[in-house]
Amino acid sequence: MASDHQFPSFPSLAKEGESGDAGGSQEPLLKGIHGSENYSISAAILPFLFPALGGLLYGYDIGSTSCATISIKSATLSGTSWYNLSSVQIGLITSGSLYGALMGSLLAFNVADFLGRRRELIVAALLYLAGALITALATGFPVIVVGRFVYGMGIGMAIHAAPIYIAETAPTQIRGKLISLKEFSIVLGMVGGFGIGSFFVDLVAGWRYMYAASIPFAVIMGIGMLWLPPSPRWLLLRAIQGKENMGDLRERAIHCLRRLRGSAIGDSAPQRVDEILAELSYLGEEKEVTMREVFQGKCLKALVIGAGLVLFQQITGQPSVMYYAASIFQSAGFSEAHDATRISILLGFLKLIMTGAAVFLVDSLGRRPLLLGGVAGMVISLFLLGSYYLFLNDALVVAVVGLLLYVGCYQISFGPIGWLMMSEIFPLRLRGRGLSIAVLVNFGANALVAFTFSPLKAWLGAGILFYIFFLIGVASLVFIYFVIPETKGLSLEEIEAKYL
Distances (CA, A) of 32 to 488, 489, 491: 18, 15, 11
For the stretch 285-322, pLDDT in tens is 556 666 676 777 777 888 899 889 989 988 887 766 55
In the predicted model, is pLDDT for residue 1 greater than 70?
no
Q: Is the pLDDT at 499 greater than 80, yes or no?
A: no
For residue 52, tell me if it sits in a domain.
Answer: yes
When comparing pLDDT for 65 and 12, which is higher?
65
| pLDDT bucket at 377, cuts 50 / 70 / 90 | very high
pLDDT of residue 8: 32
Range of the domain at 337: 39-499
Domain assignment of residue 99, yes or no: yes
CA 188, 191, 193, 195: dihedral to nearest 10 degrees? -140
pLDDT at 10: 31
Residue 5 belongs to a domain: no
Where is pLDDT greater, at 423 or 332? 423
Q: Choose between 455 and 309: higher pLDDT.
A: 309
pLDDT for 369 equals 93
* Residue at 114 is within a domain: yes
Considering the domain boundaries, does residue 390 fall inside one? yes
Q: What is the pLDDT of residue 4?
A: 40
Asked if residue 24 has pLDDT above 60, the reply is: no
Per-residue pLDDT band for 18 (boundaries 50, 70, 90) equals very low
Asked if the structure places residue 246 within a domain, the reply is yes
Say if 90 falls within a structural domain: yes
Contacts of residue 457, defined as CB under 8 A and 6 or more positions apart, other chains included, come to: 465
Does 48 map to a domain?
A: yes
Q: How confident is the model at residue 23 (pLDDT cuts 50, 70, 90)?
A: very low
**What pLDDT does residue 5 have?**
38
Residues 6 or more apart in contact with residue 408 via CB below 8 angstroms? 350, 351, 353, 354, 377
User: How many domains would you assign to the chain?
Assistant: 1
Q: Which of 199-203, 232-236, 339-343 has the lowest mean pLDDT?
A: 339-343
Rounded Cα gap, residues 207 and 199, in angstroms: 11
> Mean pLDDT for the chain?
79
| Residue range 41-63: mean pLDDT, rounded | 85
Look at residue 134 and tell me whether its pLDDT is greater than 90: yes
Q: What predicted TM-score, i.e. pTM, was given to this entire model?
A: 0.78
The answer to whether residues 362 and 177 touch, using CB atoms and an 8 Å cutoff, is yes
pLDDT of the residue at 336: 57
Query: What does R_g of the chain's alpha carbons equal in angstroms?
Result: 23
Report, as an integer, the average pLDDT of 81-99: 81
Indicate whether 37 pLDDT > 80. Answer: no
Confidence bin at 76 (pLDDT 50/70/90): confident
Lowest mean pLDDT among 12-16, 68-72, 283-287, 462-466: 12-16
CATH number at residue 451: 1.20.1250.20
